[in-house]
């Protein structure tokens, strides 16, 4: 979520976060589980990624192709809907279509900030909610889950009876708080699991990687192994209030959090259960989608490589949460990114104009710009 951040605040918060990580590591016993996690990443022939909702819709964005990735831009609404346009807002939602042989799977990853914008864009882009095979939520920020409940109210009746929502863990349901200048805390958003249950959507909460229908896979919890720091964002408050929140008992004995966290005090958010969604595209390598990347894009890339044994990164896509990064820190991240064999960088959402400008300078041949309505095809062309 957007936060104003000054260099002093960055340094102080990063130091505090580093101390918390040193004390807590990954979420407790999940440290050993995630370290040992291995999967056989399935190969897909093709992945089509459609940006359903992002910060803005630029009708003049370049339509130039990006090497072996086909790029399409949505510039106008359908003829019968010209009185409407694609919405842009602070948030992200992606529609993912993968094919393997004669088999096709479709997923919606994240749901933007509001259902009104999400449902408007789904309609204008011609996305068939009835054809979705699953739903994926990256983490517990309102600009990624905000449209979910309203999306389900609008479309659930026509969707398949049994459908799952994949998340990285219980942390997604925690209360998020925003700190105000007077020292108080305001509401930062919370996802009510009762509304998910009422929509008859099955939850899959996993700190370890999950292969979904033999096509995509999730990374599970991402170990913090690089120089990356948790850039300040929200505060998190654990515990259940009036039936809403994350169940503290879920953490007891299985993960380790500080006493302050377990007592329900607002503390800097570490996003222990944020996960990435990935595909292994035949003859290309891994497409790693970091919807927000709070736990670090370097950490996430290493995690995807570690759990699959696949070194080649075909594309890093999504929000990189580098907009609030100071220049020296951003330069460090760029230097680390250059060490990976990455074919394409496709920043979205919270990646930041600062990151884009640096990528234009340092990795111009890899950078592909994105806007709401952009469609990218990885792998064999239809």
pLDDT tens digits, 265-308: 888 999 989 999 999 999 999 999 999 999 999 999 999 999 99
Q: How many Å apart are CA 102 and CA 80, to the nearest integer? A: 33
Cα 330 to its chain centre, rounded Å, is: 20
Whether the full predicted model's pTM is greater than 0.85, yes or no, is yes
Measured between its terminal Cα atoms, the distance across the chain in Å is 37
The pLDDT of 183-203, averaged and rounded, is: 94
Q: Side-chain half-sphere of 171: how many Cα atoms within 13 Å?
A: 24
5 confidence band (pLDDT: 50, 70, 90): very low
Model pLDDT for residues 132-175, shown as the tens digit of each residue: 999 999 999 999 999 999 999 999 999 999 999 999 999 999 99
SS3 for the chain is: CCCCCCHHHHHHHHHHHHHHHHHHCCCCCHHHHHHHCCCCCCEECEEEEEEEECCCCCCCCCCCCECCEEEECCCCCCHHHCCCCCCCCCCCEEEEEEEECCEEEEEEECCCCCHHHHHHHHHHCCCCHHHCCEEECCCCCHHHHCCHHHHHHHHHHHCCCCCEEEECCHHHHCEEEEECCCCCEEEEECCCHHHHHHCCCEEEECCCCEECCCCCEECCCCCCCCCCCCCCCCEEECEEECCEEECHHHCCCCCCCCHHHHCCCCEECCCCCCCCEEEEECCCEEEEEECCCCCCHHHHHHHHHHHHCCCCEEEEEEECCCCCCCHHHHHHHHHHHCCCCEEEEEEEHHHCHHHHHHHHHHCCCCECCCCCCCEEEEECCC
Question: b/e string for 69-79 if b means 16 or more Cβ within 10 A?
Answer: bbbebbeebee
21 confidence band (pLDDT: 50, 70, 90): very low
pLDDT at 319 over 60: yes
pLDDT at 182 over 90: no
pLDDT at 10 over 80: no
pLDDT higher at 16 or 75:
75
Question: How much is the pLDDT for 7?
Answer: 36
- % of the chain beyond a pLDDT of 90: 79
List Cα–Cα distances, 132 to 8, 289, 316, in angstroms.
Answer: 45, 18, 24
Model pLDDT for residues 32-80, shown as the tens digit of each residue: 555 567 999 999 999 999 999 999 999 999 999 999 999 999 999 999 9
Q: Give 237's strand partners.
A: 175
pLDDT at 222 over 80: yes
CATH of 7-379, one of 3.10.180.10, 3.20.20.80, 3.60.15.10, 3.90.380.10: 3.60.15.10
pLDDT at 251 over 80: no
The pLDDT of 95-106, averaged and rounded, is: 97
Question: b/e string for 214-227 if b means 16 or more Cβ within 10 A?
Answer: ebbbbbbbbbbebe
- % of the chain beyond a pLDDT of 70: 88
Domain ranges of the chain: 7-379
Residue whose entry in the numeric block shows the structure tokens 């959402």: 349
Question: How much is the pLDDT for 250?
Answer: 62
pLDDT at 29 over 50: no
pLDDT higher at 85 or 31:
85
Question: How much is the pLDDT for 115?
Answer: 98
């Amino acid at each position: 979520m957007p936060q104003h951040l000054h260099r002093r605040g960055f340094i102080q918060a990063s130091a505090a976060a580093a101390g918390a990580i040193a004390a807590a590591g990954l979420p407790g016993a999940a440290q050993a589980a995630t370290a040992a996690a291995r999967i056989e990443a399935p190969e897909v022939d093709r992945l089509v990624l459609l940006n359903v909702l992002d910060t803005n819709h630029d009708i003049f964005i370049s339509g130039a192709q990006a090497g072996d990735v086909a790029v399409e831009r949505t510039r106008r609404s359908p003829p019968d809907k010209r009185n409407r346009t694609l919405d842009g807002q602070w948030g992200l939602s992606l529609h993912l279509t993968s094919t393997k042989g004669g088999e096709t799977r479709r997923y919606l990853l994240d749901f933007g900030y509001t259902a009104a914008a999400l449902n408007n864009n789904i309609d204008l882009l011609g996305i068939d909610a009835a054809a979705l095979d699953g739903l994926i939520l990256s983490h517990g920020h309102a600009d990624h889950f905000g449209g979910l409940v309203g999306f389900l109210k609008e479309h659930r009746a026509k969707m398949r009876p049994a459908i799952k929502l994949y998340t990285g863990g219980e942390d997604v349901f925690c209360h998020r708080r925003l700190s105000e200048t007077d020292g108080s805390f305001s509401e930062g958003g919370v996802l009510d699991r009762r509304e998910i249950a009422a929509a008859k959507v099955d939850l899959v909460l996993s700190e370890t990687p999950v292969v979904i229908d033999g096509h995509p896979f999730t990374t599970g919890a991402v170990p913090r192994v690089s120089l990356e720091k948790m850039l300040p964002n929200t505060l998190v408050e654990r515990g259940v209030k009036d039936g809403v929140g994350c169940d503290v008992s879920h953490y007891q004995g299985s993960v380790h959090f500080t006493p302050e966290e377990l007592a329900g005090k607002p503390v800097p958010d570490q996003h222990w259960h944020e996960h990435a969604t990935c595909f292994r595209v035949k003859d290309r390598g891994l497409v790693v989608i970091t919807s927000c990347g709070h736990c670090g894009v370097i950490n996430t890339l290493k995690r995807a490589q570690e759990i699959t044994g696949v070194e080649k990164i075909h594309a890093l896509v999504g929000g990189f949460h580098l907009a609030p990064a100071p220049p020296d820190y951003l330069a460090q991240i760029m230097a680390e990114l250059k060490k990976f064999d990455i074919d394409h960088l496709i920043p979205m959402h919270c990646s930041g104009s600062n990151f884009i400008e640096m990528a234009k300078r340092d990795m111009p041949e890899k950078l592909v710009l994105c806007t709401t309505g952009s469609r990218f095809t990885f792998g064999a062309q239809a």
